[in-house]
Structure formats: structure tokens, C-alpha cells
Amino acid sequence: MTAVQGTTVDIPTGDGTADAYLAHPADGTPRPGVLLYQDAYGLRPHLRAMADRLTGAGYTVLVPNVFYRKGRAPVVDLPEFIDPSADPTIWQRLSPLLRTLTPERTARDADAYLGWLADSPLVADGPVALTGYCMGARLALRTAATHPGRVAAAAGFHGGRLATDDPDSPHLGAGHITAELYFGHADRDASLPEEQMRRLEDALTAAGVRHTCEVYPDAPHGYTQADTNAYQREGDERHWAALLDLLKRTF
């Protein structure tokens, strides 16, 4: 297991400065880059621990605070264990932040994140991989479509609203994707009903995108997030196996 060093970095963007967590091998050896997109709860200790685990497997991992326009992380103060059913105000505070992430801003931010990784001496030359959780799966899908030359693989877990009826739905960018994709859907997820699962699968297949879409049984939306009431150990362990397998095939 690779020894891990973690630090906070600042990334200049078209709209300001995004703070981010960087996990990298302690010996400074360049490793393949992974851009980890957060869920709606934001950059916090659990996501830093996820980045550290990926780095221990041999990668340099960047976790940007995608809500940086509203402040440095934590943008919203949350308890150590997040349970929206115990505090309904959590989503009242988070919803305005989600609305700041338009497709245009997502693409512009991805330029900055991927450019920073390309310039870092801690990242090996070549394209990078993405992994995203909840809304982060949506960001990963959009980034794979807008930056095909920079993204070799992308994974999304318990993603929501991936294939809606909206004219700017993420799945509509499938024709631009050159990366291999993996999605681990939650089967108890109101934000991604079966209709959207089929629409995503059909779009990726029609575009000739290398992909795997799997539905995790009895898994709730958020099953990988151990600091929330949605956590499911079985789904989380399956997610780690699938993600590390994808990265191993890619690099």
C-alpha cells in the first residue's frame, strides 16, 4: 500500500479560485490522475478518506470543492453523521448550491481542474480518470463528454438525473465520449428511475461508448457515503471493486 500525503490546494478557474483536496504518494512519484467529484454534501472528511484510499492504490487524486463560488469548504456546516430525516433544513441549505452548477460552468470548471492535473508534477503524463458520486456522477458524465481528449475513463455511483427530458440532459453528450464508462446505479433511487436508466444505456450504446451499467440491489441513493444514513456496506464494497478494476484496465 502506497504511503499517502494529503494537502489543500487552490485552483484558478474562470470564475475565481476553487479550493481542493489533493492526495498523492508521499514519495512524490507521479501517478495516474483521478478527478473525484463530490456529492451534494460537499468536500468533507469522508471524501478526503476516499481520496486517500484511491491514492493508496496508486493514484494522485484531486477532489475540488465544486461549490467554491459560494465559499471555501465546508460551504455548508453539516454534522459528522448526515441524516436529512433528522434535520430537514440540510437540503434547504444545499439546494441553492446545486443550482449554481450549470452545464456551462461545469465545463469551464473541468477545464481548470483537468488543466491543473496536467500541469502537476505529481500526476503522470496522459489522460486522467473521473469518479463521481450522486450529483458528482452527473458532473463526471458531462466532463467525459466535454473533454474527450483528457478523460480515459469515468465512473459514476448512485448518480441522479443522468438522462432526463431536459434539452441539456447529460446523456445527450454521449456522442462526444471516448472514455470507458462505468455506472453503479442504486435500485432504490427516485432521482434515477428505470426510464432514465434505459435512456442512458440506449444513448451510450447508440454512440458506441464502451460502458457498463449495473444496478446494485437494495441500494439507496448515496450508498457509498459512510458518514450518511444512506450508507450500504455491500454496495460500497462492490463500488470499490468496480472502480479499482476500471482504473486498473485504464492505466
Which sequence spans correspond to the domains of the chain? Answer: 4-250
Exposure on the CB side of residue 58, measured as CA atoms within 13 A: 7
Q: Are 182 and 215 in contact (CB under 8 A)?
A: no
Beta strands (DSSP E) in the chain are 4-13, 16-25, 33-37, 60-64, 128-133, 151-157, 180-188, 211-220
Note the pLDDT of residue 129. 98
Count of beta carbons in the 10 Å neighbourhood of residue 92: 10
CATH class of 4-250: alpha beta
Note the pLDDT of residue 2. 80
- For each of the chain's 251 residues, which pLDDT tens digit applies? 789 999 999 999 999 999 999 999 999 999 999 999 999 999 999 999 999 999 999 999 999 999 999 999 999 999 999 999 999 899 999 999 999 999 999 999 999 999 999 999 999 999 999 999 999 999 999 999 999 999 999 999 999 999 999 999 999 999 999 999 999 999 999 999 999 999 999 999 999 999 999 999 999 999 999 999 999 999 999 999 999 999 999 99
Give the separation between CA 155 and CA 106, rounded to whole angstroms.
Answer: 17
Which cell numbers hold the place of 116? 491543473
Q: What is the model's pTM?
A: 0.98
Note the pLDDT of residue 15. 96
Secondary structure class of 151 (helix, strand, coil): strand
Which cell numbers hold the place of 205? 450504446
Which cell numbers hold the place of 3? 504511503
Q: Name residues whose C-beta falls within 8 Å of residue 33's C-beta, 6 or more positions apart in sequence.
A: 59, 60, 61, 62, 117, 120, 123, 124, 128, 129
Which cell numbers hold the place of 191? 432521482
What is the number of residues in the chain?
251
DSSP 85-133: TT-THHHHHHHHHHTT--HHHHHHHHHHHHHHHHH-TTB-SS-EEEEEE
Note the pLDDT of residue 184. 98
Type of residue found at 152: A
Secondary structure class of 212 (helix, strand, coil): strand
User: Side by side, which strands form the sheet with 60-64?
Assistant: 4-13, 16-25, 60-64, 33-37, 128-133, 151-157, 180-188, 211-220
Type of residue found at 154: A
Note the pLDDT of residue 144. 98
Closest C-alpha to 158, from 132, 134, 191, 131: 134
Note the pLDDT of residue 1. 73
Closest C-alpha to 249, from 164, 204, 182, 165: 182
Give the separation between CA 130 and CA 153, rounded to whole angstroms.
Answer: 6
